[in-house]
Amino acid sequence: MKERITITLDDELINQIDRRIDGTVIKNRSQQIERLLTKALGADIPGKAVLLVGGKGTRLRPLTYKLPKALLDVQGKTLVEHLLDLFKKYGIRDIILCVGHMRDKIKEYLGDGSKFGVNINYIEEENPLGTAGPLKLAKKYLNSSFIASNGDELKDINIPRMFRLHKRKNALATIALTSVSDPTQYGVARLDGTRILEFIEKPKLKEAPSNLINAGFYILEPEVIDLIPDGFSMLEKDVFPQLAKKGRLRGFLFHGQWFDIGNLERYEKAKKKWEGINPYEEGHEE
């Protein structure tokens, strides 16, 4: 809910505000003032992020026989460190790691996160719980908007812009979408504007509704956790279809880097082409 207020500003300050109105993303003074205040108060990003790193990485064997997927090396850093770099870039330092397979090695390497500039809490899966189940275990930590991310992809996403879309559209869940040349190996989004109507799983090329796929990065509201069934469950199958029917599922198309580390071939490609997270570049996707 928004409330109208009246403020008095210096002429030069008003000129500075007007110069930032582009007519598309920012359409008027009120939007720009709200944007500046939101950023100044630290309300333009979710406060916490959940990283799902409990998988066995079976398609990456033999590399994952003795090492969890999260600790695989990409250009001198572990995979999980690159994801932490993304969160730190936008000031998100409270991280919840959902661990399962080889959890002790991950916990030993990352500890409480202090040597990496973050604060880490752990949720331990005794048995695999999918992409949704761990969030239910982490419920006590998640009392406001939060990020959930797969731990087996490298991505560079403008989180504040994604969060603004999420809030502007009153979404319960917003999914980062990336475009691929061949969507037949992924879940492909069918959209109406930014509203996600459904995902078509591994469609034939001619039948794909778009070339936009789930990038494994979500902004969620705490209410979503109440929709998660007990035990093993998947956001993609058990939760998102419910939200789509309610019109509360949105998609955020980004144009930053994205690499899936799901198998050996993709891992080798990521090692060669990943450019890292630039802590100073804001990006241009909207």
Residues recognised as catalytic: 202
User: Band of the pLDDT at 183, cuts 50, 70, 90?
Assistant: confident
Query: Does a structural domain hold residue 190?
Result: yes
CB 254 within 8 A of CB 248: no
Query: Does a structural domain hold residue 283?
Result: no
Q: Which domain holds residue 118?
A: 39-273
Q: What is the pLDDT of residue 256?
A: 87
Query: Does a structural domain hold residue 107?
Result: yes
Query: Does a structural domain hold residue 65?
Result: yes
Query: Does a structural domain hold residue 89?
Result: yes
Task: Render pLDDT for 191-201 as a digit per residue (tens, 0 to 9).
Answer: 999 999 988 88
Domains held by the chain: number = 1
Task: Render pLDDT for 44-55 as a digit per residue (tens, 0 to 9).
Answer: 689 899 999 988
Element (H, E) at 274: none
Length of the chain equals: 286
Q: Is 190 exposed, middle or buried (0-12, 13-18, 19+ CB in 10 A)?
A: middle
Query: Does a structural domain hold residue 56?
Result: yes
Percent share of the chain, pLDDT over 90: 51
User: Band of the pLDDT at 13, cuts 50, 70, 90?
Assistant: confident
Report the chain's mean pLDDT, rounded to a whole number: 87
3-state secondary structure of 216: strand
Q: Is 199 exposed, middle or buried (0-12, 13-18, 19+ CB in 10 A)?
A: buried
Here the CATH number for the domain that contains residue 200 is: 3.90.550.10
Q: Please check the confidence at residue 41 and state whether its pLDDT lies above 60.
A: no
| C-alpha to C-alpha distance for 60 and 273, rounded to whole angstroms | 18
Q: What is the pLDDT of residue 9?
A: 77
Q: What is the pLDDT of residue 38?
A: 59
Query: Does a structural domain hold residue 5?
Result: no
